[in-house]
Amino acid sequence: MNALAMIDRELLELAAKAAGIEQRGWCMPGARTDGWHGMYTGDGESGAYTRWNPLTDDGDALRLAVKLGLHLFTRLPGGGVPSSCSNGDTMEAHWGDPYAATRRAIVRAAANIGRRMS
């Protein structure tokens, strides 16, 4: 597993913890032919699982931000995407993809909350 995948996995684990999302498994980059990677979540009773990766999925990211009450402020073009929560702020440069930067800012803010829960 490369360093970026390890960082992403840690961010997702901490973000899930903050949101009360139960981890059921992982799919690492390159493991699927459709390119999807991320966390599998489930309810624990039915055995069903759901794919979850707010780093790549706009809907997952928005639901995470809403659930945690995050505040987002965007500075475009050429700026970044700050994300604020009661436990601190994060800032992501968008490098030409403001949507990816926004998702990452949300996940980083959520991970900061999850880290403080430990």
Give the three-class secondary structure for 27: strand
Tens-of-pLDDT digits for all 118 residues of the chain?
Answer: 555 566 888 999 999 999 999 888 777 666 666 666 788 887 666 667 788 999 999 999 999 999 999 987 766 555 555 555 454 555 666 667 888 888 988 999 999 999 988 6
State pTM to two decimals: 0.77
Q: What is the pLDDT of residue 58?
A: 95
What is the Cα–Cα distance from 52 to 89, expressed in whole angstroms? 23
Sheet holding 80-85, edge to edge: 71-72, 80-85, 88-93
What is the Cα–Cα distance from 53 to 84, expressed in whole angstroms? 20
Q: What is the pLDDT of residue 93?
A: 63
How big is the chain, counted in residues? 118
